[in-house]
Amino acid sequence: MTSSSHSSASTTLGAEVTPRHIAIIMDGNGRWARRRGVPVAQGHKEGGEAVQRCVRAALKNEVPFLTLYAFSSENWRRSHEEVGELTSLLRFYLKHKLADLHRQGVRLRIIGEPEHFGAAVCQELQRAEEKTAQNKRLTMLLALSYGGRAEMVGAARSLACKVEAGLLHADDIDEAALSASLQTHDIPDPDVIVRTSGEKRLSNFLLWQSAYAELIFLEKLWPDFQESDFSEIIKRYARRQRRFGGRPSGEEKASS
Ligand code: IPE
Ligand code: IPE
Ligand code: MG
């Protein structure tokens, strides 16, 4: 067994009281808008407000890593108009809210393939990452044009290139080597994956990293997400018993 087959969050059984890394599939903006008879763009805009509440809650609760799934590699199937609205919203936040995040000690990191949003957006994202690179309070990963399968293909390809160049033996490819080739190579695996809107699927999110994540599904739609929901997630997580394939310590004693 390689060391990477343990969660990097905890090598002991049972849940840490506070999760180190919470990852959220922010779903339900469309339904929120439809229920109110307003354009989908309004749902995404309200979703942006929810992002701000969520980041505030992560800071208050001293959670050091937060990943937000903002746009999947499959979301390009949406209309040109909706993609345009989401892109504008992203640019609005980069322009008007980044300074605030920076002041609060948030380090922004992008995962996925943001180059698909075009050179201008990419440059703005890169600047935002550079500006906030030294911040230590909260690392916020924004998943943009992200797909777990694409990320794994990228990792496999980079390992294959190293083998081809004679820098690596095929036999040396293990879980640690693959983890180290992912975009999240320096980020602990998520302790919890949350999805709003009542859907119960991962939709290509952090497929490798979610191996031992606790899953929490909330019925409420993402624009309705409040700071109190974040605290509730932490409480629910603390009640979970993580085993990582082992036995809880009480049981171990009983059977020996
Ligand atoms: C999530 O909300 C935001 C993105 C996927 C960009 P949706 O737009 O998927 O909302 P629903 O699922 O249609 O309600
Ligand atoms: C997942 O939501 C992607 C994001 C929240 C960014 P989707 O709404 O795209 O997922 P499906 O299509 O319902 O699985
Ligand atoms: Mg959806």
- 46-81 pLDDT, tens digit each: 999 999 999 999 999 999 999 999 999 999 999 999
Return the percentage of the chain with pLDDT > 70, whole number: 92
Distances from the Cα of 205 to the Cαs of 43, 68, 103, 148, 149, in angstroms? 21, 10, 29, 5, 9
| Ligand in closest contact with the CA of 201 | 2
pLDDT at 254: 55
Q: What is the pLDDT of residues 94-106, one digit of tens each?
A: 999 999 999 999 9
Mean pLDDT computed over 191-199:
98
Cβ distance 33 to 39 under 8 Å?
yes
Cβ distance 110 to 80 under 8 Å?
no
Which residues neighbour 181 within 8 Å (Cβ) at sequence distance 6 or greater?
154, 155, 156, 158, 159
Provide the 10 A C-beta neighbour count for residue 79: 9
Known binding positions = 27-32, 44, 72-74, 76, 78, 195, 201-203, 214
Q: Is the pLDDT of residue 14 over 60?
A: no
Among 236, 253, 254, 251, which residue's Cα sits nearest to residue 15?
Answer: 236
Mean pLDDT computed over 186-191:
98
256 — pLDDT class (breaks 50, 70, 90) = very low
Q: Is the CB of 198 under 6 A from ligand 2?
A: no
Atom of ligand 2 nearest to the CA of 69: 6
| Ligand in closest contact with the CA of 43 | 1
Residues in the chain: 256
Atom of ligand 2 nearest to the CA of 201: 14
Which DSSP string do the residues of 131-178 spell out, in sequence order?
A: HHTT--SEEEEEEEEE-HHHHHHHHHHHHHHHHHTTSS-GGG--HHHH
List the single range of 2-6, 78-82, 86-90, 171-175 with lowest mean pLDDT.
2-6
Determine the angle formed by the axes of helices 40-60 and 80-96, rounding to 10 degrees: 40
pLDDT at 15: 59
Residues with catalytic annotation?
A: 27, 75
Which of 24, 27, 205 best tests ligand 1's pocket when mutated (most atoms within 8 Å of CB)? 27
pLDDT at 13: 52
- List ligand 1's pocket residues with C-beta within 6 A: 26-31, 71, 75, 86, 197
Q: d(Cα 28, Cα 17) in Å, to the nearest integer?
A: 29
Which of 72, 76, 86, 90 best tests ligand 2's pocket when mutated (most atoms within 8 Å of CB)? 72
pLDDT at 252: 63
Tokens 């974040």 sit on residue: 230
Q: Is the pLDDT of residue 139 over 90?
A: yes
Which residues neighbour 84 within 8 Å (Cβ) at sequence distance 6 or greater?
none
Nearest CA to ligand 1 atom 3: 27
Q: Is the CB of 146 under 6 A from ligand 2?
A: no
Q: Is the CB of 25 under 6 A from ligand 2?
A: yes
Q: Is the pLDDT of residue 145 over 90?
A: yes
Nearest CA to ligand 2 atom 14: 203
pLDDT at 4: 41
If you measure from the C-alpha of residue 143 to the centroid of ligand 1, how many angstroms do you get, rounded to a whole number?
14
CATH superfamily of 17-240: Decaprenyl diphosphate synthase-like (3.40.1180.10)
Q: What is the pLDDT of residues 157-180, one digit of tens each?
A: 999 999 999 999 999 999 999 999
Segment (H or E) for 97: none
pLDDT at 17: 84
Atom of ligand 1 nearest to the CA of 71: 6
pLDDT at 50: 98
pTM of the model: 0.93
Atom of ligand 2 nearest to the CA of 25: 5
87 — pLDDT class (breaks 50, 70, 90) = very high
Mean pLDDT, all residues of the chain? 93
